[in-house]
Structure 1
Amino acid sequence: MQGGVIMKREEKNSKTREQILKSAMKEFGEKSYSEASLNTISKDGEISKGIIYHYFKDKDDLYLSCVYRCVSSLVEYLREKENLSGEPEKDIKRYLELRHRYFEGNPDGMGLFSSFMLHPPKHLMEEISKLREELDVYNRKLFERILEGVHLREEVSLAEAMEFFLMFQESFNYYFSQNYHGEENEAFNQHEQKLKKFLPLLFHGITKE
């Protein structure tokens, strides 16, 4: 009997937490961190602020929980759908298409992803960097596997090619964050469109003709 009561309580807690996160993902996906409001999350999710604070320490904690959910869900989806062909440009195109397809089905996550990748709250940058690590590791391993199937230029080692990729990734994101300040969903679309053009150029620079 007691076990059944505990299970029902845990189920209720899980549903309530899910309800809060769903409302928060929508709010953080539509607005920047500073503009997002716990009052709106409370109102739209039909949850009292007291209940929100029961499950999450503060706005920072709730935001980081949304970031974690976004990253882990995206990586899980990419791993599930991944299917390398051995053709670099084709595999890169598929990777970007999978990202786009994921966010088509998770529109609130699109705005949030763009927000914490390109315009993260300064006081949460360290925590966000740690939460991003799962995606960063996935991207590095995927790129390395793609590179293993291509003929690199004689003067370029696999380690150097990986270093080049990481430098490109960081500099591209930094450049984009400094030069685009529109709506987060539109920022994501612009970011992905430019990646589609630039990533093939990256490969042409390190592979043999």
Structure 2
Amino acid sequence: MRDNSSLDERILKSALQEFGTKGYNLSSTNTIAADAQVSKGLIFKKYKSKAELFYTIYQNELNRFLDEYRHFQKRGSKDVFEQIVDIIIWKGTYTQKNPEAANVLLEGIANPPSLIRNRLQESLVVLREMSISSLFSQINRENLRDDISREMFEKTLNLAIAGLQATYVNKNVTYETLNSVKNESIEFLKIIIRGMEK
């Protein structure tokens, strides 16, 4: 039993590395088998297809991501703007620490393999529930201009958040750097909101 467990671990570790660095289409089960020191036939016996192996990796990494996110959320702040920036920082840090896992999750969401597309899209429901957009309802909208619809409000905030992520969250930025711009980021979001007020 222990041998099977270590065998599975080797296959999954090699598959995560391969899918996470090359993407699904360019990944090779031959490379995964060689790296895990198993036969390609054994991989297909356990996982039926390359798509099923990718699905297993995706589900494992999604579950790990969700567990860590829920743990992070338990210590969250009360202020909605601080929560938004904390999530941006947390996601950036998570991606930095787990680049292969982040790449697999991104591909599963943005460009899922066609054989498992429907199954992967089921996970989007869970991810939407924990998205930053779910916090927008906590922002006071009483003073918004009449010409700002709910859709425009949320689109503007999403663009502002994407701008913060593009500016501050990249592979060369440390957690300390991200934390140092936290107050600046919160103020930026508040300025965006004030620009939509009467």
* Structure-1-length-normalised TM-score: 0.66
* RMSD value, Cα: 3.8
Residue 106 of structure 1: aligned partner:
98
Residue 81 of structure 1: aligned partner:
72
> What does 1:190-201 correspond to in 2, within 5 Å?
192-193=165-166, 200=189
Residue 186 of structure 1: aligned partner:
none
Q: Cα offset for 1:194?
A: 6.3
Residue 21 of structure 1: aligned partner:
12
Q: Does the CA contact (< 8 Å) of 2:136 and 2:154 recur in 1?
A: no
The answer as to 2:17 corresponding to 1:53 is no
Q: 1:55 to 1:86 in 2, by over 3 A?
A: same
Residue 179 of structure 1: aligned partner:
none
Structure 2 residue aligned with 1:131, among 105, 118, 123? 123
* Structure-2-length-normalised TM-score: 0.69
Q: 1:115 to 1:103 in 2, by over 3 A?
A: same
The answer as to 2:193 corresponding to 1:204 is yes
CA distance in 1, matches of 2:3, 2:191: 50
Q: 1:145 to 1:13 in 2, by over 3 A?
A: same
Q: 1:24 to 1:162 in 2, by over 3 A?
A: farther
CA distance in 1, matches of 2:43, 2:115: 21
Q: Cα offset for 1:206?
A: 10
Residue 153 of structure 1: aligned partner:
142
Q: Does the CA contact (< 8 Å) of 1:42 and 1:52 recur in 2?
A: yes
Q: Which runs of 5+ in 2 are unaligned?
A: 170-184
Q: Does the CA contact (< 8 Å) of 2:144 and 2:197 recur in 1?
A: no
CA distance in 1, matches of 2:38, 2:90: 34
Q: 1:96 to 1:155 in 2, by over 3 A?
A: closer
Residues 101-136 of structure 1: per-residue CA shift (max 9 Å, x gap): 222222211222232233323443212111333322
Matched AA of 2:101 = G
Matched AA of 2:60 = R
Q: Which runs of 5+ in 1 are unaligned?
A: 1-8, 177-189
